[in-house]
């Protein structure tokens, strides 16, 4: 519970936004009468998708975000483009389940998923010429095969950074490289070649906040998946630990309140099994060997079921864990921290294909970031043709306000799936004076000054780090 101040009696009048220069909207006039005192978990506003993109998002302190796949609305190099859709375009043989081409009018905001082979080839060439070093693309005959993590915000933890999967048919090996789209440069490569063609959709990766470590979940055998840990040494990522086997649906993310020491992991195990942890005892230098020593350092017995676990990345010890109970007919989709690291949002979606005219269901579990206990469950429903199995997840992923006190997500609940709406929910204040003060500071900085990034340049270093949610702990 807490007080959330905002402007009152706002009016917004807009004819269009810059998100889609080719789309024309009817001018909208929106009047919002906001109260100043809200309870935690309270839905404070609901609007149509058109109203959201025409000013409601900025009014309530959110960044401009359409929730739709925007890979076709920006240039290829633009930061924040939907890499999941782009990854599908790199696969010319990708087709959706539904053969129907005529969708309802509500489907018009969704992207087309039928790219031509010519466009796919241009995308491959773009990445190879601009982001893949010549040593890898030309001399070793590697070509871009896919993008790891898709558009997941919980992946590399940096919106401008993606991981590419490159494959050499001559060497029959797959390699992973990291590129920064904002700086338009190659960052590093994982110095461990994986034999055969590794499907990028079966790989999951996370990058530490201080950019010193990378963790990758990758299939290494036909029925086995490993968790590989890398430390970045100059422009190479050296492997130092491998955990084998793990569940192929395991997801993980570095905790934003710590630079690189805390890792949140979601696991699902259907039977008891032992886990082998192997370490690379060779000193990690640019010229050192990158082979894993095949000696058993430790064993862990995994319990059956779904668990959320907070781990120490250095010792691989467990801080805390919590069993997750998934509703029947639903599957775990993704997890994301709030910007201040106070809450964890777990997204679950039903297991059916919705490429045809059926209404998908999903729900969010809001958990405490320290105890991992569930605090709230929010059910939602989307418009037809939004398929969590075959489409971009932007429509299923919530976003947060600048001050991290509000969450917005897509829904059609209470209108029978006729119109896509955006629901804005207040997140309760944490009982922590430091966190409450930061919310208020960022809220007023955003109202009176606009762009937070521009303001931070004028602030003292520690205050600048504070309002940017930079961690204080190693």
What is the distance between the alpha carbons of residues 356 and 220, in angstroms, rounded to a whole number? 35
What is the distance between the alpha carbons of residues 140 and 133, in angstroms, rounded to a whole number? 10
List beta partners, residue 335: 346
Burial 204-214 (b: 16+ CB within 10 A, else e): bbbbbbebebb
* Chain mean position to CA 211: 16
DSSP state of 473: B
Q: Where are the domains of the chain?
A: 40-63+325-430, 119-202, 209-248+259-283+294-315, 434-467
Q: Provide the greatest CA pair distance for the chain.
A: 67
User: Taking the chain (474 residues) in consecutive chunks of 10 residues, what is each chunk's mean pLDDT?
Assistant: 40 41 48 62 91 90 77 42 59 49 40 52 78 76 82 54 87 89 83 85 88 91 86 86 88 90 89 70 54 53 81 91 93 91 93 81 94 94 77 83 91 78 89 79 76 74 83 74
Burial 128-164 (b: 16+ CB within 10 A, else e): beebbeeebbeebebbbbbbbbbbbbbbbbbeebbbb
Which residue, 376, 336, 304, 327, is CA-closest to 149? 336
pTM here? Answer: 0.81
DSSP state of 396: G
Cβ-based burial of 404 (10 A; exposed 0-12, middle 13-18, buried ≥19): buried
Find where tokens 């375009």 sit: 89
- pLDDT for position 47: 92
Q: What tens digit of pLDDT does each residue of 411-444 get?
A: 987 777 778 899 999 998 776 787 788 888 887 7
Burial 325-358 (b: 16+ CB within 10 A, else e): eeeeebebbbbbbbbbbbbbbbbbbbebebbeee
φ and ψ at residue 394, rounded to 5 degrees? -60, -40
The percent of residues in the chain predicted with pLDDT above 90, rounded, is 24
What is the distance between the alpha carbons of residues 242 and 194, in angstroms, rounded to a whole number? 13
Three-state SS for 436? helix
Contacts of residue 216, defined as CB under 8 A and 6 or more positions apart, other chains included, come to 148, 176, 190, 203, 204, 205, 227, 228, 230
Tokens representing 311 are 């781990």
Q: What tens digit of pLDDT does each residue of 74-122 get?
A: 344 444 445 556 666 665 554 545 444 333 333 444 444 444 456 667 7
């Amino acid at each position: 519970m807490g007080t959330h101040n905002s402007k009152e009696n706002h009016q917004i009048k807009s004819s269009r936004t810059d998100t889609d220069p080719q789309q024309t909207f009817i001018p909208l006039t929106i009047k919002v009468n906001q109260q100043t005192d809200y309870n935690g978990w309270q839905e404070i506003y609901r609007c149509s998708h058109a109203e959201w993109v025409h000013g409601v998002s900025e009014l309530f302190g959110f960044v401009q975000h359409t929730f739709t796949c925007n890979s076709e609305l920006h240039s290829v190099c633009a930061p924040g483009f939907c890499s999941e859709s782009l990854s599908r375009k790199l696969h010319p043989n990708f087709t959706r389940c539904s053969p129907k081409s005529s969708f309802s009018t509500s489907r018009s905001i969704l992207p087309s998923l039928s790219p031509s082979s010519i466009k796919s080839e241009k995308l491959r060439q773009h990445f190879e010429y601009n982001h893949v070093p010549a040593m890898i693309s030309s001399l070793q005959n590697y070509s871009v095969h896919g993008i790891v993590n898709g558009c997941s915000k919980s992946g590399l933890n940096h919106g401008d950074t993606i991981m590419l999967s490159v494959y050499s048919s001559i060497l029959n090996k797959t390699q992973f490289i990291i590129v920064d789209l904002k700086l338009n440069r190659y960052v590093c490569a994982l110095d461990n070649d994986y034999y055969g063609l590794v499907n990028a959709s079966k790989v999951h990766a996370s990058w530490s906040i201080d950019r010193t470590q990378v963790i990758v979940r990758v299939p290494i055998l036909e029925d086995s998946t490993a968790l590989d840990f890398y430390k970045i040494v100059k422009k190479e990522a050296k492997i130092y630990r491998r955990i084998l086997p793990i569940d192929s649906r395991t997801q993980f993310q570095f905790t934003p309140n710590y630079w690189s020491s805390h890792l949140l992991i979601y696991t699902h195990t259907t039977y008891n099994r032992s886990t082998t942890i192997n370490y690379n005892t060779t000193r990690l230098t640019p010229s050192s060997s990158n082979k894993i020593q095949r000696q058993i350092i430790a064993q862990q017995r995994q319990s059956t079921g779904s668990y959320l676990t907070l781990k120490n990345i250095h010792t691989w010890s467990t801080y805390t864990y919590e069993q997750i109970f998934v509703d029947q007919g639903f599957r775990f989709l993704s997890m994301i921290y709030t910007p201040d690291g106070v809450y964890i949002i777990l997204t679950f979606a039903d297991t059916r294909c919705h490429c045809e005219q059926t209404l998908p269901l999903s729900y969010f579990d809001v958990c405490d970031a320290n105890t991992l206990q569930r605090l709230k469950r929010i059910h939602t429903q989307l418009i037809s043709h939004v398929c969590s199995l075959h489409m971009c997840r932007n429509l299923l992923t919530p976003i947060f306000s600048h001050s991290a006190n509000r969450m917005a997500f897509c829904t059609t609940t209470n209108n029978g799936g006729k119109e896509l709406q955006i629901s804005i929910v207040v997140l309760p204040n944490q009982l922590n004076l430091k966190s409450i003060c930061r919310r208020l500071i960022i809220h007023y900085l955003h109202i009176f000054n606009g762009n937070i990034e521009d303001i931070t340049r004028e602030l003292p270093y520690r205050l600048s780090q504070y309002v940017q949610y930079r961690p204080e702990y190693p």
